[in-house]
Structure 1
Amino acid sequence: MKQLFGCFLIFFSAIIHALPTHQFFPEGHPFDPNIPTPESVIGVEIGQWHLRHDQLIRYISLVAERSERLQLEKIGETHQKRSLYLLKVSSAGNLAKLSHIQAQHRQALMSPSFRTTEDKAIVWMGYSVHGDEASGSNAVAPLVYYLAASQSETVSQWLDKMVILIDPSLNPDGMDRFANWVNMHRSTVPNPDPVNREHVQGWIRGRVNHYWFDLNRDWLLLQHPESRARVAQFHQWKPTVLTDSHEMGSNSSFFFQPGIPSRKNPLTPQKNVELTKKLATYHAKALDEKKQLYFTEESFDDFYFGKGSTYPDINGSVGILFEQGSSRGHAKQVEHGVLTFTQAIQNQITTSLSTLKGSFENRLVLLNYQSKFYEESREQAEQDKMAGYLVDTEGDLYRTQAFLSILAQHQIQAYPLTKDYEGKQKTYHQENTYFIPLKQAQYRLIKALFMTQTNFKDNSFYDVSAWTLPYAFDFPFEVVKRRASVSFAAHPWEAQSKNTFPEFNSEHAAYGIRWNNSAAAKAVHSLLSQRLYLKVASQEFTATTPTGEQTFAAGTVFLPAGLQKIPTNQLHVILIKTMETYGVAIEPISSALTSKGIDLGSSSAYALKQPKVLIVGGKQTNPYEAGEVWHYLDIHLGISPTIVELDRLHKIQLSHYTHVVMVDGNYQGISEALTEKVMRWVKQGGVLWGQRKAAKWLAQQGLLKMSFKGQPELNKLFPGNTVRYAQQDDHASKKRIAGAIFATQIDTSNPLGFGLQEEALPVFKRGTFSFKPHAFGAVNVATYQEKPLLSGFTAKPYQKALSGQTVLAAHKLGRGQVIAFADNPVFRGFWYGSSRLLGNAIFFGHILDTPGD
């Protein structure tokens, strides 16, 4: 057997090779000799090695300098400071008036009465948002060569009637992480064995960005610089067609949209699907000519608008997803033989060219659809029984800025109220409330962001079923039926650049920071890092200030002036700098004696500790959740956590850390010795946070005094005795919660609830896990409400079973605390509301005083 495998490798090495660029295209094709080929610049043939981002950009930059058909623009930077580029390809005449073409195209869509003489289709082609789906970005170099060097009449016609926008690498940080991995493990003789290290990446794959987020879920959420730069350009150009090139499982063939028909978002026009099908005929023909297998209308859906191929659909473009079976290296043994990287690149090039051919030949139909999309949006807004939405931002400037910024980046206007509005459940005060009218060009996208649908034609979801933006921010919102009933400003919200803050003098007894501003946490950590002494009031108090009597809620952090180790004038310099940096008001308090509630010297005011957080990671854990926690701590709290793989945890001195965070993962293999080590650390004063399966493990090990329903018990809710073979998918979809939004009831008197304005808190739920309520009510910090489902799909048996169950539990263990969350409070980085629970655990977890027995 070994001899046979050795012979196979010798034979294999003879037949597997990269290709000169010309061989990716039809024979006899004329090329401009003044345009350099990729191999002449990079030094290797395409497919021989995985290109790094800098190599790809170096080649594109050189061709852009040589060719009158190309313009290269830097549009932003990644977290790791790699440059993001957009390559514009068209005829020299078009490039000379590019800004005119862009303006005419946008104005024709946005202004009903405007008529343009331009008939240029704008085709956006994006590659490899998942960095380890590398055939897309590696196809860009030969594609750019072809468009720059081809002297065929066909390409000249394309460039005359289209502006082609190429996003060469949607995820440069991930691209380089993967390229370095596979190149590092590449042999001179390619090894197709699927278990070879080249095909099995380390813990953090190239799929994700710097903070381990899936950028293909961030188009709507805009939590990362890559997405913000891209969406800004998207709205500058309003592309007619946008392609999104990916890879999938190695044993798959090739997929192009349309996806599963029943899983289209209802806000996407049916005409979009028809045009997608029309373009699909071009991909089919091109792949047939290459004798390549493919499939459509299976597996993938078009429901969640945060994906690169679906976001265009709610913005008047036609988004198309391509999925190529992945070689996950340079060559890999698959079901039908050996799949090479070069073959994968060829298919990406083939469908890129079929996109251009189809877009060119159908450009007038596509442009007409795009114009009709916005025209119909305006008509639907006029006919809609709703006028818009009111959103109460509760005076939290940090969350307000983040929420309104997302809307603004999506070209959605929000207007401050000029008069209070009496709603159905509450009064919307003008100083904190914004009105989002539906009569805007982005009518459909507004509906998508505020959607609270819970019933669907097809309940199977490739991704989440809900992403309601105000729920994610924990902002009360309400439908407005009559526009005339709302008094709002003439101009929409714009980001504020300056704030006004109070002045200080040497007479102050203390300085208070209200915890209802989410930026307070970052400011407080900064002050703790400068070794200032801070306390938190666990109860409300009313104190004298220079502006009169002021009430401060439980959770207010204050600095006692007399207990600081630095001179008063130096303290004031630090406080002023803190206010300017973080936009948080620090309010002078005249006396430690209060008129109501606790005094500042009360034993109910607790000293704060500077958090030192350890996140447990490694292959056994969920990298998305680990990255989301890291991102939240780093970006929103200013805390740089220590991240340690689970298999190294036994070597770590836990006493160096105040907190250990365990995210979703498989912890069943943890040794008894390590479990005891963690328990000793908690009992000695540590704060242990566990979420989802980590929370379940804590309960199983006795660290958390909670019980839960096991999967066999939950399976009884969905008996399968009558399920037929063809009904299996439908049955399985009912047994899972792919991603929905649930209403919880939270104990705001608990330190974990500090800063929350209301006892009702929306949380994102994925999976069926929850805790049975503890007999001692104070342990149950948050429970699902009686009718928990707010948005998205969850089968009714689960809704009933989860009603009243505990989602957040906390209690003492020795001198330490154990805190467990059944869900993920920082999902995809945009859950600004529930993320405060984790923030409170970081700053206030050590003051919890609830017995667990």
Structure 2
Amino acid sequence: MKLSVMVFFTLWAATAQAQYFNEPVNTRLPSPQQTLGHAVGDWHARHDQIQRYFEQLASQSDNAMLEVIGYSHEQRPLLQLVISSPENLGRLDQIRQQHVQQAKQGTSIAGDAPVIIWLGYGVHGNEASAANAALVLAHYLTAVQTDEVQTWLSKAIILVQPSLNPDGNDRFAHWANMHKGSKPVADPQHREHIEPWPNGRPNHYWFDLNRDWLLLQHPESRARIAQFQQWLPNVVGDFHEMGTNSSYFFQPGIPSRNYPLTPQRNFELTAAIAEFHAAAFDAQEKLYYSEESFDDFYIGKGSTYPDVNGSVGILFEQASSRGHVQESINGLLSFSDAIKNQFTASLSTIRGAVAKRQELLAYQQQFYQDAITEGKADKTKGYMLTDDGDKSRLEGLLDLLQRHHIAVYPLARDWQDDDTKFRAGQSYFVPLQQAQYRLIKAAFATDKDFKDNTFYDVSSWTLPYAFNIEFKAVNREPGRALAGQQWQSAPLLKQPLTAGAYAYAFSWQDQQAPLFLQALLDEGVVVRSALGSFSALSSDSTVQFKPGSMVIAAGLQQNKEWFNRLQQLQQQYPVRVHAIRSGLTAEGSDLGSHNFAVIKNPEVLLIAGPGINSTEAGEVWYNLERLAGISPSMVEPERLGRVNLNRYTHIILVDGNYRQWQDSHISQLKQWTEQGGVLWGHKDGAAWLAKAGLLKAGVWQGKEMQQLIPQQNLSYADSEALGAKQRIAGAIFSAELDLSHPLTFGVPRERLPIFKNDIMLLQPSSSPFVNVALYSQNPHLAGYSASEYVPKIAQGAAIIAHNLGRGRVIAMTDNPVFRGYFFGSSRILINALYLGNSFNAPIQAE
């Protein structure tokens, strides 16, 4: 009986796998079907099922080794299955070190040196054919024993990352599986094919992880890049899905939209490997195309980041069944068909990479040799970064560069370039003459003119602008002024606080000051903020405090344990706390003055649900937690009328559609604000506030802006170019801040870089004290914008804030927390949490 069951199970598994491949397999190894309990594609595999199969396979195969390289936000393990011959796996670390030395140090390439192939699946959780194809691929590479497969395993190290976004994968798998009937429904209008908000594409915080390869704001990305930089793969397969009515796309993409620092040889190798894809799909008579879609420009996504790191990144896009089966213009598209195409492209990638092994290894070595040569010849020798009083923000940038294996050196002594003096201990040099030359040039790029102005994604991402760190391109190296060792993050060392002081105070400049403040508020510590600068006696010296500095007066504390809590918490944050001996100050207001605002513990309501931009809602959610230690309550727009708003101090409206709100909702928000609430809106959230009359500001809408672009004498062929000119896909502009305004406290300079990807503009107010920030006279810093837009943007307001009864309304034209890495502008939103009621700006009657 047992034997017959085993025979049946083996035959069933073989039949199930036949829809993907026909080669005989080693039945000693488990198949995905045996582990899942169903054929791949019958149901959407959850991440734990993928993990269980990979664990079983690795434990029984001599050709596979499983690693957990990190954890997602929801603590799902991030997996990497290393597949190769037993001989290669036996000396894996030696191979890795040898490979890196060949690439970056130019050592001779061994005749038997394997090519490193990286196959990444499912960075978008609802593009599920990719992650499920990884199951079939792992089985094929370990269980099929043909001569071709054995050659691959001897000549390649194959790194399979089956689910780059496990949290999103499971969100979508649950949705698709819970709506599958005994007979799958192909109707595109069926609920299975229409995901709910926020859908399965993003990660836990609703971020697009395929835009985070450069920015590294999430643990999934940091784990991925750590492996990438350790291995330096020669080929990277980046597997995605697109619209149901498409076919199959593989790069090359549109030639005019490639990143200019990518070497031409990269595109030649991409095209050479594309011939293997074409041959594989031709053999199966499957539809496909290339060179007509998608750009290869933004270096922060999975197919382009490799290109500026010596690899050949290849984007794959499969038409999506977005469920189990769906009607399309090409007939019924089943989930298993989509999986098979991803599996086919995976094999053709391996086949092409092994065939081009010597060329790929030689190209990578030449890439890094050329980087050193070009860095030496470049007129710019590097970039100087300067500390502006916020070490946390600066070290955040330095840490990010370090994760990308970019060398940064501190100044050991003062150094001057032209009229700019750089102080030792406050300045850092990023030399261009290093292996990461192209990545550095890209990360610091401020280009405004491009060969092709059509962008699939953003056109600028300048890291120092995002962090609001002063930087300067220098044409000579600091030489002996440099320290001999690269920058390393120093451990936090703190001395105990002196007990018995009249008060304690800390600066608001550091990025972690809000986290420290919030921790104090959570412990019941009473805190006030200085609305102007002052100086006070601390120990034996007088300390200068800037506006926004937080003061903890001993006489106001109610909790008997307050000092112990203060002392414990100050050990956790890189914020210096000064013990103040007297309430009488040498300069500025005394500590009992009304010029010290009471800080209340914020209770934040974030409007998040259908109709709202989920990405931007997630960015606010994530940054409130990271930068202020606050987890907001989130309510769908449709529930606003049934929510008791009295428990909240702040309401945040991000980009989205608020048209469903009626006069009753407007009255509800107005009454809440007039009673003392702080109402924040940005992008379309701000535009709605203006339309509702809650924000007293005019708006230049997108249609008005588009009229600035000439549309006469255009042919039909010009439609795409016109569309590209009419939008700002993603560029950086500058605004001039009123640094005396409480919303700008802690920001180091008047000029603030802001990311803009919308053409809507707030109009400046004619009332005094309302315009917190106006765009600069020459605002365009980086990225593409039609020249007709720039003068109009220069007339606009970036931030407006005014009274509404006892409350305040604050609006921003742009998203202050774009992709989680615009730390400079994010301070405005954080300030609104604590200082949003501390200014007085009544609107004058027109």
How does 1:766-781 map onto structure 2 within 5 Å?
Answer: 766-781=757-772
Q: Deviation at 1:746?
A: 0.4
For normalisation by structure 1, the TM-score amounts to 0.96
Matched, 1:730 2:724: no
Q: Which of 362, 381, 387 does residue 375 from structure 2 map onto?
A: 381
Q: Deviations over 1:493-549 (max 9, x none)?
A: 11222223463121x111111000010001101111111110000000011111401
CA distance in 1, matches of 2:58, 2:15: 20
Q: Deviation at 1:717?
A: 1.0
Q: Which of 803, 812, 815 does residue 821 from structure 1 map onto?
A: 812
Residues 638 and 660 in structure 2, CA contact (< 8 A), matched pair in contact too: no
Matched, 1:510 2:506: no
Q: Deviations over 1:187-246 (max 9, x none)?
A: 111001111111111111110101000000000000000000000000110000000100
Matched, 1:748 2:736: no
Matched, 1:526 2:531: no
Q: Secondary structure at the match of 1:789?
A: strand
Q: Secondary structure at the match of 2:438?
A: helix
Q: Which residue of 2 aligns with 1:695?
A: 686
Q: Which of 306, 318, 323 does residue 317 from structure 2 map onto?
A: 323
Q: Deviation at 1:26?
A: 4.4
Q: Which residue of 2 aligns with 1:22?
A: 17
CA distance in 1, matches of 2:392, 2:15: 53
Q: Give 1:65's aligned amino acid.
A: S
Relative to structure 1, the CA distance from residue 419 to residue 804 in structure 2 (aligned partners, 3 Å threshold; closer, same or farther) is: farther
Residues 423 and 478 in structure 1, CA contact (< 8 A), matched pair in contact too: no
CA distance in 2, matches of 1:726, 1:38: 49
Q: Deviation at 1:423?
A: 4.6
Residues 69 and 79 in structure 2, CA contact (< 8 A), matched pair in contact too: yes
Residues 502 and 587 in structure 1, CA contact (< 8 A), matched pair in contact too: no
Q: Secondary structure at the match of 2:572?
A: helix
CA distance in 1, matches of 2:15, 2:545: 71
Q: Deviations over 1:757-805 (max 9, x none)?
A: 1101101011111111111242110111011110101111101111131
Relative to structure 1, the CA distance from residue 485 to residue 41 in structure 2 (aligned partners, 3 Å threshold; closer, same or farther) is: closer
Matched, 1:249 2:243: yes
Q: Which of 76, 81, 97 does residue 103 from structure 1 map onto?
A: 97
- Percent of pairs identical after alignment? 45
CA distance in 1, matches of 2:543, 2:416: 26
Q: Which residue of 1 aligns with 2:629?
A: 638
Residues 17 and 39 in structure 2, CA contact (< 8 A), matched pair in contact too: no
Relative to structure 1, the CA distance from residue 113 to residue 356 in structure 2 (aligned partners, 3 Å threshold; closer, same or farther) is: closer
Matched, 1:69 2:60: no
Q: Which residue of 2 aligns with 1:232?
A: 226
Q: Deviation at 1:112?
A: 2.9
Q: Secondary structure at the match of 2:43?
A: coil
Q: Deviations over 1:428-486 (max 9, x none)?
A: 32222111111111111110110000000001100000000000010110011111467
Q: Which of 165, 168, 174 does residue 171 from structure 1 map onto?
A: 165
Moved more, 188-197 or 483-492: 483-492
Residues 170 and 226 in structure 1, CA contact (< 8 A), matched pair in contact too: yes
Q: Deviations over 1:94-153 (max 9, x none)?
A: 100111100000011121355545421000000010000000000111111111100100
Q: Which of 145, 148, 156 does residue 154 from structure 1 map onto?
A: 148
Residues 75 and 229 in structure 1, CA contact (< 8 A), matched pair in contact too: yes
Q: Which residue of 1 aligns with 2:790?
A: 799
Q: Secondary structure at the match of 1:333?
A: strand
Q: Which of 340, 343, 348 does residue 346 from structure 1 map onto?
A: 340
Q: Give 1:23's aligned amino acid.
A: A
Q: Secondary structure at the match of 1:581?
A: coil
Moved more, 712-721 or 557-566: 712-721
Q: Deviations over 1:5-37 (max 9, x none)?
A: xxxxxxxxxxxx99944314443x221110111
Q: Give 1:678's aligned amino acid.
A: L
Q: Which of 35, 45, 48 does residue 42 from structure 2 map onto?
A: 48
Relative to structure 1, the CA distance from residue 113 to residue 67 in structure 2 (aligned partners, 3 Å threshold; closer, same or farther) is: closer
CA distance in 2, matches of 1:500, 1:305: 39
Matched, 1:552 2:574: no
Q: Which residue of 1 aligns with 2:5?
A: none
CA distance in 2, matches of 1:136, 1:779: 51
Q: Deviation at 1:723?
A: 1.1
Q: Secondary structure at the match of 1:775?
A: coil
CA distance in 2, matches of 1:426, 1:553: 24
CA distance in 2, matches of 1:777, 1:687: 20
Show structure 1 runs of 5+ residues with no match: 1-16
Residues 496 and 567 in structure 2, CA contact (< 8 A), matched pair in contact too: no
CA distance in 2, matches of 1:480, 1:19: 64
Relative to structure 1, the CA distance from residue 589 to residue 300 in structure 2 (aligned partners, 3 Å threshold; closer, same or farther) is: same
Q: Which residue of 2 aligns with 1:277?
A: 271
Q: Give 2:507's aligned amino acid.
A: R
Relative to structure 1, the CA distance from residue 446 to residue 646 in structure 2 (aligned partners, 3 Å threshold; closer, same or farther) is: same
How many residue pairs get matched? 833
CA distance in 2, matches of 1:433, 1:187: 63
For normalisation by structure 2, the TM-score amounts to 0.97
Q: Which residue of 2 aligns with 1:358?
A: 352
Matched, 1:658 2:649: yes
Q: Which residue of 2 aligns with 1:214?
A: 208
Q: Which residue of 1 aligns with 2:6?
A: none
Q: Which runs of 4+ in 1 moved over 6 A?
A: none
Matched, 1:541 2:534: yes
Q: Which residue of 2 aligns with 1:463?
A: 457
CA distance in 1, matches of 2:653, 2:15: 49
Q: Deviation at 1:298?
A: 1.6
Q: Secondary structure at the match of 2:611?
A: coil
Q: Which of 613, 616, 620 does residue 611 from structure 2 map onto?
A: 620
Show structure 2 runs of 5+ residues with no match: 1-11
Residues 236 and 306 in structure 2, CA contact (< 8 A), matched pair in contact too: yes
Residues 732 and 782 in structure 2, CA contact (< 8 A), matched pair in contact too: yes
Residues 13 and 33 in structure 2, CA contact (< 8 A), matched pair in contact too: no
Q: Secondary structure at the match of 2:481?
A: coil
Relative to structure 1, the CA distance from residue 678 to residue 552 in structure 2 (aligned partners, 3 Å threshold; closer, same or farther) is: same
CA distance in 1, matches of 2:472, 2:14: 59
Q: Give 1:66's aligned amino acid.
A: Q
Moved more, 315-324 or 294-303: 294-303
Relative to structure 1, the CA distance from residue 502 to residue 547 in structure 2 (aligned partners, 3 Å threshold; closer, same or farther) is: farther
Residues 421 and 486 in structure 1, CA contact (< 8 A), matched pair in contact too: no
Residues 809 and 820 in structure 1, CA contact (< 8 A), matched pair in contact too: yes
Relative to structure 1, the CA distance from residue 468 to residue 501 in structure 2 (aligned partners, 3 Å threshold; closer, same or farther) is: farther
Matched, 1:574 2:568: no
Residues 747 and 782 in structure 1, CA contact (< 8 A), matched pair in contact too: yes
Q: Give 2:707's aligned amino acid.
A: K
Q: Secondary structure at the match of 1:102?
A: helix
How does 1:126-137 map onto structure 2 within 5 Å?
Answer: 126-137=120-131
Q: Which residue of 1 aligns with 2:296?
A: 302
Q: Deviation at 1:336?
A: 2.2
Residues 64 and 81 in structure 2, CA contact (< 8 A), matched pair in contact too: yes
Q: Give 1:515's aligned amino acid.
A: W
CA distance in 2, matches of 1:336, 1:121: 37
Q: Deviations over 1:629-671 (max 9, x none)?
A: 0000112210011011111111111110000000000111211
Q: Which of 787, 808, 817 does residue 799 from structure 2 map onto?
A: 808
Relative to structure 1, the CA distance from residue 785 to residue 486 in structure 2 (aligned partners, 3 Å threshold; closer, same or farther) is: farther
Q: Which residue of 1 aligns with 2:755?
A: 764
Q: Give 1:796's aligned amino acid.
A: S
